[in-house]
C-alpha cells in the first residue's frame, strides 16, 4: 500500500493551485479538435501536434507554456535564454503528447475513478486554495467552472489508476548502500552551498528511502510512456516545431 501511494505521488503530483488542473488537464476542447483538418492537412493555427489522429490545440499548448515559463521564472531561471526557452517548449510539448497518449489508453481501458475519489480531490483543492470563497474566485480567475475542474481531476485520477495497473512497483526497494550514496551526494551539495549543521543520515534515512523508490518509479513510468509513444502515430505541426 505504501508503494502504491508513492506511485500515485510520482505519476501525478497533487495540485497546489487550481491552475494545475485547469492548465494541464485534457479538456473537452481538446476532444473537439480530434481529427480536425484543413484542406487535407493539419491547421497550423489550431494544433501543435496530432497524436493518433487527435489534434492537440495550440491554445492549450500556449496556456501550458505560459504556466511553465512563469514557474521557471519564479525559480530564478533565465527564461529569456534562447536555449533554455527551447528546452521548456520541448518539455511542454512532450508533456501534452504523453498526456494525450495516456488519456487515449485510459479511454480504451475503460478505467474510471469513483465519485468519492473525485470529491476528495476537489476538497483538497478547496482547502489548499484557502476555502470556498477563494475557490470560487480562482474559478473565475482561471475562466473555468467546477464541473470542468471535476472533469480534469477525473481524467488525472483515471491516468493514475491506469498507470498503477500497468506498472509493477511491488519489488522496488532502496538498499542501505543506495541510501548512503544518496546522503553523501546530498551532503556534498549542501556543504558546497555553504550549509552547515546538516541532518544526520539516520534522521533523513526514511525520506531518502522514499525519494529513491520514487525515482525508480518515475523511471518505470517514463519507460512505459516511451513504449506507448513507440506504438503511436505522432505528427508535429509547424506550430509545434
Provide the 8-state DSSP code for 38.
B
Q: Is the dihedral of CA 180, 184, 190, 195 positive or negative?
A: positive
Q: Is the dihedral of CA 55, 57, 62, 64 positive or negative?
A: negative
Q: What is the pLDDT of residue 26?
A: 52
Region of 213 please: left (phi>0), alpha (psi -120 to 50) or beta. Answer: alpha
Q: pTM of the full predicted structure?
A: 0.71
Show the domains of the chain with their CATH numbers. 12-175+232-240 (1.10.4030.10)
* pLDDT tens series, the chain, 241 aa: 444 443 333 333 333 333 344 434 454 443 333 333 333 344 444 799 999 999 999 999 998 899 899 989 999 999 999 999 999 999 999 999 998 999 899 999 999 999 999 999 999 889 888 899 998 998 888 888 899 889 888 988 898 899 889 998 888 999 999 999 999 999 999 999 898 889 999 999 999 999 999 999 989 999 999 999 999 999 998 776 6
Q: What is the pLDDT of residue 129?
A: 87
How far is it, in rounded angstroms, from Cα 50 to Cα 35? 8
Residue with cell 489534434: 55
The three three-digit cell numbers of residue 218, written as one number: 518515475
On whether the CB atoms of residues 45 and 239 are closer than 8 A, the answer is: yes
Q: What is the pLDDT of residue 240?
A: 62
Residue with cell 512563469: 70
CA atoms in the 13 A half-sphere facing the CB of 198: 17
- For 62, the 3-state DSSP assignment is helix
Region of 204 please: left (phi>0), alpha (psi -120 to 50) or beta. Answer: alpha
Amino acid at each position: 500500500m505504501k508503494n502504491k501511494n508513492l506511485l500515485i505521488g510520482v505519476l501525478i503530483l497533487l495540485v497546489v493551485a487550481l491552475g494545475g488542473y485547469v492548465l494541464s488537464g485534457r479538456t473537452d476542447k481538446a476532444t473537439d479538435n480530434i481529427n480536425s483538418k484543413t484542406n487535407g492537412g493539419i491547421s497550423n493555427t489550431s494544433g501543435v501536434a496530432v497524436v493518433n489522429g487527435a489534434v492537440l490545440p495550440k491554445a492549450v499548448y500556449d496556456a501550458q507554456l505560459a504556466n511553465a515559463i512563469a514557474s521557471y521564472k519564479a525559480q530564478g531561471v533565465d527564461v529569456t535564454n534562447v536555449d533554455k526557452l527551447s528546452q521548456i517548449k520541448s518539455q511542454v510539448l512532450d508533456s501534452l503528447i504523453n498526456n494525450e497518449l495516456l488519456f487515449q489508453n485510459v479511454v480504451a481501458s475503460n478505467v474510471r475513478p469513483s465519485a468519492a475519489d473525485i470529491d476528495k480531490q476537489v476538497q483538497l483543492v478547496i482547502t489548499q486554495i484557502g476555502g470556498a470563497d477563494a475557490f470560487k474566485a480562482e474559478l473565475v480567475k482561471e475562466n473555468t467552472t467546477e464541473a470542468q475542474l471535476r472533469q480534469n481531476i477525473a481524467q488525472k485520477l483515471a491516468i493514475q489508476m491506469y498507470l498503477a495497473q500497468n506498472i509493477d512497483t511491488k519489488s522496488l526497494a532502496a538498499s542501505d548502500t543506495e541510501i548512503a550514496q544518496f546522503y553523501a551526494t546530498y551532503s556534498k551539495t549542501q556543504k558546497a552551498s555553504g550549509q552547515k549543521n546538516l541532518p544526520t543520515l539516520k534522521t533523513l534515512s526514511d525520506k531518502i528511502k522514499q525519494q529513491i523508490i520514487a525515482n525508480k518509479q518515475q523511471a518505470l513510468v517514463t519507460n512505459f510512456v516511451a513504449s506507448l509513444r513507440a506504438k503511436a502515430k505522432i505528427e508535429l505541426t509547424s506550430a509545434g516545431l
